[in-house]
């Protein structure tokens, strides 16, 4: 009787811990206590871990030094080791605390992805196989999964892009039908803007998938964009929590849910900033075929191009093509373009580093008017030049010089009434 009563309360919980939460052995021990808390309550726990803070960057630096035009398949093999180490260490610490734990790499789960290396997409997780592997170790085993990584149909290691461990966690939660997916990180939730930049930033208790999606894709580093997309699609009950908070209560963190109903809806929910943006301008390209050739080349090499700012016409069918990329792709992109200069038939490349993209986000924009006007007026008042603008249904983004970051974000936070 009791057994069947107990079974009712067994939840299937996915917990994800980011790089700063597992930065050293002491922090991993702290993470282990969070796992133990759920396990002691008789829940079945599946944990997803990132690499220890800084490790992935070191590995990327090594790969870039070995070969600036690195092959993404080998890049993946190298950087995937970071999560492998954390998974093993957390398993060892849980075992020391007398919990049956076992590490699982992407290929061991297996988490099948496409072969778009460095930015692979998850195709399938074999729930039955994975759950059987866990049970084979121990009836109450805790699976510690290396985040960020998967395996292709060819048996090659793939990775899901920076911050991919969030996506690993949500995909696992969706595949196994988890009751909860708790993303533990170094902040206690999603904020109206970056508290390191704007001191008046406030924690948001509930945010819709749509808003979170814009916030995430625009630089709020709390969650990887794709993890939010995936959570929305599969309706995964997602929560962002602090690893460092002792007690988790109903009001802890930020819940990401279908729709937020508020008495008085704000026009703007949050302000984000995406740093390390580089603007590339290619001078003297063919107006007709230039862009197609260049973006095909970049796409083949899996370079993510963000804003495409302008294609100006000049004399003789030649124009200038401008777009933004992440600054850490800058060297690779420029080397690649110069290598193909003859075939692409352009005159010159000009690059500008040190840019940022500031965005305002809110479902309220759908119904409120004058939202963009506040943005442009604020920039005008502070004499901030705008390099580019892009918009969607629930956000407006501007590309500006990095030096204006604090000034602009602080003033926008105030202008949209987010300070209170």
Task: Provide the binding-site residues for its own copies, judged by CB under 8 A.
Answer: 25, 28, 59, 62-63, 65-67, 69-71, 73-75, 77-78, 80-81, 84-85, 87-89, 91-93, 95-96, 102-103, 105, 107-108, 133, 136, 154-157
In the β-sheet with 157-159, what is the strand arrangement from edge to edge?
122-125, 111-113, 149-151, 157-159
Minimum gap (Å) between residue 285 Cβ and its own copies? 28
Whichever of 82 and 362 has its CB closer to its own copies, that residue is 82
CB atoms within 10 A of CB 91: 23
Smallest separation (angstroms) from its own copies to the CB of 303: 17
**3-class DSSP assignment, residue 218:** coil
**Least separation, in Å, of the C-beta of 77 and its own copies?**
4
| Distance (Å, whole) CA 298 – CA 122 | 22
CA nearest 133: which of 97, 94, 176, 190?
Answer: 176
Measured from the CB atom, the residue of 105 and 204 that comes closer to its own copies is 105
Dist CA 106 CA 170 (whole Å): 14
End-to-end CA distance of the chain: 52
CB of 137 to its own copies, least distance (A): 9
When the beta carbons of 77 and 283 are compared against its own copies, the nearer one is 77
Question: Is the CB of 304 or the CB of 335 nearer to its own copies?
Answer: 335
- Structure token pair of residue 220: 């709020």
**With 0-12 CB in 10 A as exposed, 13-18 as middle and 19+ as buried, what is 169?**
buried
Q: Minimal distance in Å, beta carbon 95 to its own copies?
A: 5
Instruction: Report yes or no: 106 and 157 within 8 Å, Cβ to Cβ.
Output: yes
| Closer CB to its own copies, 58 or 377, in the complex | 58
81 vs 352 by CB, closer to its own copies: 81
CA gap 178, 184 in Å, rounded: 16
| Residue 340 CB neighbour total at 10 angstroms | 14
At its nearest, how many Å lie between its own copies and the CB of residue 143? 13
């Amino acid at each position: 009787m009791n057994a069947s009563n107990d079974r009712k309360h067994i939840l299937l919980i996915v917990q994800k811990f980011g790089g700063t939460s597992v930065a050293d052995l002491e922090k991993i021990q702290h993470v282990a206590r969070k796992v133990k808390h759920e396990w002691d309550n008789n829940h079945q726990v599946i944990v997803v871990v990132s690499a220890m803070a800084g490790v992935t960057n070191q590995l990327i630096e090594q790969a870039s030094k070995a070969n600036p035009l690195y092959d993404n398949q080998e890049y993946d093999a190298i950087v995937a080791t970071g999560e492998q180490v954390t998974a093993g260490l957390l398993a060892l610490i849980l075992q020391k605390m007398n919990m049956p734990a076992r590490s699982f790499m992407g290929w061991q789960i297996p988490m099948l992805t496409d072969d778009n290396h460095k930015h692979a997409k998850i195709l399938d997780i074999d729930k039955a196989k994975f759950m059987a592997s866990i049970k084979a170790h121990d009836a109450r085993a805790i699976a510690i999964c290396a985040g960020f990584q998967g395996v292709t149909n060819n048996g090659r290691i793939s990775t899901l892009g920076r911050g991919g461990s969030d996506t690993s966690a949500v995909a696992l939660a969706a595949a196994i039908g988890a009751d909860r997916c708790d993303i533990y990180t170094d902040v206690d939730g999603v904020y109206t803007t970056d508290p390191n930049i704007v001191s008046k930033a406030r924690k948001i208790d509930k945010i819709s998938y749509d808003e979170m999606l814009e916030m995430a894709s625009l630089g709020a580093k709390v969650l990887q964009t794709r993890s939010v997309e995936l959570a929305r699609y599969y309706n995964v009950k997602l929560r962002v929590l602090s690893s460092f908070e002792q007690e988790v209560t109903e009001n802890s963190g930020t819940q990401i849910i279908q729709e937020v109903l508020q008495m008085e809806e704000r026009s703007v929910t949050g302000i984000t900033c995406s740093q390390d943006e580089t603007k590339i301008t290619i001078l003297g390209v063919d107006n007709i075929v230039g862009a197609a050739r260049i973006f095909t080349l970049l796409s083949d090499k899996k370079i993510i191009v963000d804003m495409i700012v302008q294609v100006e016409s000049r004399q003789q069918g030649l124009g200038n093509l401008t777009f933004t990329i992440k600054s850490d792709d800058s060297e690779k992109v420029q080397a690649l373009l110069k290598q193909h200069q003859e075939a692409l038939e352009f005159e010159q490349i000009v690059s500008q580093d040190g840019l940022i993209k500031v965005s305002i986000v809110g479902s309220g924009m759908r119904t409120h008017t004058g939202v963009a006007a506040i943005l442009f007026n604020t920039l005008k008042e502070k004499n901030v030049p705008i390099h580019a603008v892009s918009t969607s249904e629930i956000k407006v983004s501007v590309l500006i010089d990095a030096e204006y970051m604090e000034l602009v974000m602080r003033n926008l936070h105030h202008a949209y009434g987010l300070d209170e």
